[in-house]
A and B are shown apart, each in its own frame.
Chain A
């Protein structure tokens, strides 16, 4: 960013520490100053996993004297001695240790030798590196995937990378993959045990549907192909994405049966919503401009897009919208927005928390991170969400509180 950053009440998502809960039989230790542990420890209590994460709070003297080299192994001993015994221990370090030349590899090596039956990984919660080639969230997912077993053989399964929760069981992707010979679509959350989780290393393809999973897929690309197909709500793009999947799997199936359902869902939503202006944001989807463009093409009125920059795969849609006109773009961290909260644009329906918070739209589609969405189902479900939102007025504040955003 080239300006100061406004951190609105709608900002946040899962946070780095919560991502560690995606690994079964895993405990987490966070080594950091008090301040770095604040929001994620409150989030851990809210989301019910505080029993899996402990904190070793350090001060400047600890950093200067390197007392963590003694304290971390002692704390790990406490963690691995308590029930339930973990199969994985993730040790998180915040910016201070990341920047101080702290040798986390030496610590991991030392404790790995002491407890060879346990997998240890160093994880970084280092927003100071967010504009490097190793930003915290993608790097964290790469670390989670490093726990997959490379020697688990080969299975006819496909891994879903990027989203933090699995797709809705109603999504046609499951059926399409099966028709193409894949046995299953695996997500972190499918596994009940670490052994099951590690089997994701035997899959034949990584299907990356949000950018958070891209570094992990690249790290595995020597032994596992990947397709990067960020969630789209554009019917033509969705069809194109399936063609890419067919090519990767060397098989294809008929998609025609899905088109009618999508068209019907769009028509029903459009009939109900009419010309009510809609705002879209990047907390709801990884392609806010693409979603806005799709909605415009479906005949909806889009007034505003609230985004945190523009990803390379969304740039074309942004250009299309800019050339067409009529849609205002807002950078969500723009400091000048602070005095305008709740009054930006003309939207009556907001897709996502950011759009709802900034626009003050009375109707909010409670969608975060494209959760559950891909393919034709994603479009159909979004249309249902739009209809539901238009029919009710919800408290955005309550939605945000329930979601439990973590920075």
Chain B
């Protein structure tokens, strides 16, 4: 069903989310597209691209190739690069054109694997879904294809799941690492902000999973069920931190967060990634138990963490209706949402890179402390 966006931009989509999680793992990423699709990732969804370009390439899919389904053209482009690089794994991503023309991405990957000897995977992304779906699939992919079976539990080791630059400022990697280390935890796999493949291999030996976005909940539940690894969900927002991990040390407390918690209105709408928004809600209500806080998201909204008043947004019209229903004193969200507020609510800007991309991704905002 089509969605009309008059004011807001499009948001980051599935293949960007997937590739973001794979950043730094050494795999060769091939986006099967005419090259414009890859441009979304490199130009608008990956703040690390300028300083840390990775082997993420376009197959430059062309009209005749798509129409006749000639996979040999793809092979002639991909094969030399795979042979030259000898990557630990290769992912081939679907895009709108390959989805529309019925490209069998799995079969393409199998063909490349047979001819190159490299381990190749077909990833059926299509550019029609948002980035959270890509992150979720990337994490489940990592579990199935990259993690080794559990051998022994390593006490005190924690994995950080689902924290990518599409939800978090780049500085957050250091802040969450410092938070965990300050509480005596040893960092295991850090899926989404760059990590070595070796750390991913041994992720199933961790004692605990820290889930930083709703996209990572399916993986966390799988690891709880299969490997007995419990998880805690949401970033450590506010001085209390996360009970199972520990409080936020004073030097990590973020002044802007503290003032935000204190000044939020009695009826608050938070628009954003669900677990970040829920952590903020908890902190606001801890400070003022009269506060009524609604979380709204265009992205994954997991029912286990949602309250009855929370809203999944389908399109811009749905957000307009919510923003202007007269219920909210304070709105917290990406700066691009402010222009949709029409009756003078207090607006607190918290840039969300999956929404406003490079327009605001250098502005410091923290969900830690």
Which A positions have Cβ atoms within 8 angstroms of B? 1-9, 11-12, 33-39, 41-42, 44-46, 50, 54-63, 67-68, 71, 75, 78, 94-96, 99-100, 125-132, 335-336, 338, 341, 397, 400-401, 405-407
B40 at interface by CB-CB < 8 Å: yes
- Select from chain B the residue with minimum beta-carbon distance to A357: B50
> B59 at the A/B interface (Cβ < 8 Å)?
yes
Asked whether B2 lies within 8 Å of A71 as measured between CB atoms, the reply is yes
Contact in complex: B100, A39 (CB < 8 Å):
no
B34 interface hit (Cβ, 8 Å): yes
Taking the closest CB of chain B, its distance from the CB of A132, in whole angstroms, is 6
Contacting residues, chain B, for A407 (C-beta < 8 A)? 35-36, 39-40, 42-43
Q: Mark B110-137, 1 if CB is under 8 A from A, else 0.
A: 0000000000000000111110000000
Central interface residue in A50, A57, A128, A400, by most chain B CB within 10 Å: A128
Other-chain residue from B7, B44, B53, B77 in contact with A1 (beta carbon distance below 8 A):
B77
Q: Give the shortest distance, in Å, between B87 (CB) and chain A (any CB).
A: 12
Does the CB pair B128–A127 fall under 8 Å? Answer: no
Partner of A45, one of B1, B101, B336: B336
Residues from chain B with a CB closer than 8 A to the CB of A63 are 100
CB-CB under 8 A for A38 and B12, given A57-B5, A100-B100: yes
Closest 10 CB pairs of A and B: A407-B39, A35-B127, A41-B9, A37-B10, A4-B57, A127-B34, A128-B34, A35-B13, A127-B36, A9-B50
Chain B positions within 8 Å of A, measured between CB atoms, are 1-16, 30, 34-40, 42-45, 49-50, 53-55, 57-63, 66-67, 76-78, 80-81, 84, 95-97, 99-101, 126-130, 315, 336, 356-359
Chain B residues near A45 (CB-CB < 8 A): 9, 336, 356, 359
Q: List residues of chain A with CB within 8 A of the CB of B357.
A: 38, 42
Contact B35–A5 (Cβ < 8 Å): yes
**Cβ B96 vs Cβ A35 within 8 A:** yes
Q: A129 vs B66: C-alpha distance in the bound complex, in angstroms?
A: 10
In the bound complex, residues from chain A placing their C-beta under 8 Å from that of B2 are 56-59, 62, 67-68, 71
> Which of A36, A46, A54 sits near B36, CB closer than 8 Å?
A36
- State in angstroms the CA–CA spacing of A336 and B85 once bound together: 9
- When the two chains form their complex, are residues B4 and A7 in contact, meaning their CB atoms are under 8 A apart? no
Q: How far is the CB of A45 from chain B (nearest CB, A)?
A: 6
Question: How far apart are the CA atoms of A281 and B38 in the complex, in Å?
Answer: 22
Which residues of A are found within 8 Å of B30, using beta-carbon distances? 4
Tell me, rounded to whole Å, the shortest Cβ–Cβ distance linking B80 to chain A.
7
For the complex formed, measure the closest distance between the CB of A123 and the CB atoms of chain B, giving whole angstroms: 14
Contact A42 B4 (CB under 8 A): no
**26 A-B interface contacts by CB (under 8 A):** A1-B77, A2-B77, A7-B43, A11-B39, A33-B126, A35-B128, A37-B5, A38-B40, A41-B5, A41-B9, A45-B356, A50-B9, A55-B10, A57-B4, A59-B1, A59-B2, A75-B4, A78-B4, A95-B36, A96-B100, A99-B101, A100-B100, A128-B62, A131-B63, A335-B81, A407-B39
- Establish whether residues B57 and A129, one from each chain, have CB atoms under 8 Å apart when the complex forms: no
Which of these, B45, B63, B129, contacts A99 with CB under 8 Å?
Answer: B63
Q: Tell me whether B10 and A35 are in contact (CB under 8 A).
A: yes
Please tell me if the beta carbons of B58 and A7 are within 8 angstroms of each other in the complex: yes
Q: Are B7 and A50 in contact (CB under 8 A)?
A: yes
Contacts of A57 in B (CB 8 A): 2-5, 10, 315
Residue of A nearest to B76 (CB): A2
B96 to chain A, nearest CB (A): 5
- B39/A7 in contact, CB under 8 A: yes
The residues of B that contact A54 with a CB separation of less than 8 Å are: 4-6
- Residue of A with least CB distance to B40: A38
Would A9 and B100 be within 8 Å (CB), given that A4-B78, A38-B12, A57-B2 are in contact?
no
